[in-house]
Structure 1
Amino acid sequence: MARPKQFDEDRAVDAAMRAFWTAGYEGTSTQDLCAATGLGRSSIYNTFSSKKDLFERALRRYMADKNAGTFAVLDGPGSARERLRALLWQVIDAPDDDPLGCLVVNATVELGQRDKEIAQLLRLDQERRLSALTAAIAAGQRDGDIDKRRDATELAHFMIATIGGMRVAARGGADRRTLEAIANTALDCL
């Protein structure tokens, strides 16, 4: 008879997410995962089957959490420009206990070209964010809040690149003033 699990699987995925977010897939060893989750090696492999499986679950969790915040802002009150500003300021005002950078950007750079399953997951995530941003920008264009001379999808790609770039800049040590300058420059392009 199998022993019942003595841990919270969701909490373990969250802890692993933070470990991968901080050090990347290759930079996070099984021992690092044991330390982060408080689980033994056998518990990790019995529950998640592999480091890659745990990484994929952690990446999905990260995407769900970050996208929920993004979509809440995009569906929230205010003009399209105000909502896009709020989205940029989510990066600037990131919680102090969040690791710096972006797990999606890290995964794209580290695994996007060599792991088909992760690449597909990243593509689907980008399509969801691109669709939501395009809709918000197009609505802003209809309302006269955003320049109509630019294509809404191109502006959405620009916003995704700006947000990812800001997260990388923050990880590289950019201060608040620098991040605000980047955000304000992006808003000027709308």
Structure 2
Amino acid sequence: MSGRPREFEGEDVIEAAMDVFWSHGYEGSSTQALCERTGLGRGSLYNAFGNKQALYLQALRFYHERGIRIQSGILNGPGTPRERLRALLEWGIGEDLAGPHPRSCMALFAAMERGRKDPAVREITHEYGARFEGMLCHVFALGQRSGDFSAGRPALEQARAFMSSYYGLRVLGQSMADGELLHDVLEGTLARL
């Protein structure tokens, strides 16, 4: 039989696998843990996805698409450009501090864990980063036209500087899960715009 069996066409299995990889990273996710979380046997898992690497890449893309949808909704939402950037930073802090067992951003974890040794992860990370950069650049261009941001530096440069602060904030959210510290970083980031 060629192709994926019909019962694997939904996103449920990918989302369940994403949950395992998100919690444990690629190296820390055993096939057994993937089988338990997805509800698939080892043979079914490999028949459906080929191997752990292929499943990981699908899960990583799923995570990125989820993130892009949420971030796009925030950056294209109501408010001034500055208010939208604040909302994005607050969302990031909320994500990193949520729940009794917070998890790091899977995208950042993947880039740090696998980006240098896995060209496919590097490509996915680059693709996502370019899309995110484009969304930020649009917000900065709007802010320059409205006078919310200085036009003294190109919008792309401002977007890249902000992106660096955003990712730094997300890393701090995992290494120093202190809401007060993270909100100080947020305020400092916005004050420099």
- Ranges of 4+ aligned residues in structure 1 off by more than 3 Å: 4-9
**Alpha-carbon separation, structure 2, partners of 1:62 and 1:182:** 25
- Displacement of 1:167 in angstroms is 2.1
Worse-superposed segment, 60-69 or 10-19: 10-19
CA displacement 1:62-113 (0-9 Å, x = unmatched):
0111110111111111110000000001012225388521111111112211
In the superposition, the TM-score normalised over structure 1's length comes to 0.91
Report the equivalent of 1:20: 21
Report the equivalent of 1:160: 163
Percent of aligned positions with the same letter in both sequences? 38
CA displacement 1:11-47 (0-9 Å, x = unmatched):
1111111111111111111112112222221121111
Report the equivalent of 2:55: 54
Q: How many residues align?
A: 190
Aligned CA distance change for structure 1 residues 40 and 58 (closer, same or farther; 3 Å): same
DSSP-derived class of the 1:93 partner: helix
Report the equivalent of 2:12: 11
Report the equivalent of 2:77: 76
**Alpha-carbon separation, structure 2, partners of 1:43 and 1:55:** 16
Kindly indicate whether the alpha-carbon contact (under 8 Å) linking 2:26 and 2:56 is maintained by their aligned counterparts in 1.
Answer: yes
Report the equivalent of 1:131: 134
**Alpha-carbon separation, structure 1, partners of 2:39 and 2:166:** 33
| Structure 1 letter corresponding to 2:32 | Q
Report the equivalent of 1:174: 177
**Alpha-carbon separation, structure 1, partners of 2:100 and 2:73:** 21
In the superposition, the TM-score normalised over structure 2's length comes to 0.89
Report the equivalent of 1:32: 33
**Alpha-carbon separation, structure 1, partners of 2:162 and 2:113:** 22
> Structure 2: which 5+ residue stretches go unaligned?
none
Aligned CA distance change for structure 1 residues 39 and 46 (closer, same or farther; 3 Å): same
Kindly indicate whether the alpha-carbon contact (under 8 Å) linking 1:141 and 1:147 is maintained by their aligned counterparts in 2.
Answer: yes
Worse-superposed segment, 119-128 or 108-117: 108-117
> Structure 1: which 5+ residue stretches go unaligned?
none
Report the equivalent of 2:115: 112
**Alpha-carbon separation, structure 1, partners of 2:37 and 2:164:** 30
**Alpha-carbon separation, structure 2, partners of 1:50 and 1:66:** 25
**Alpha-carbon separation, structure 1, partners of 2:14 and 2:101:** 15
Report the equivalent of 1:93: 94
| Structure 1 letter corresponding to 2:108 | V
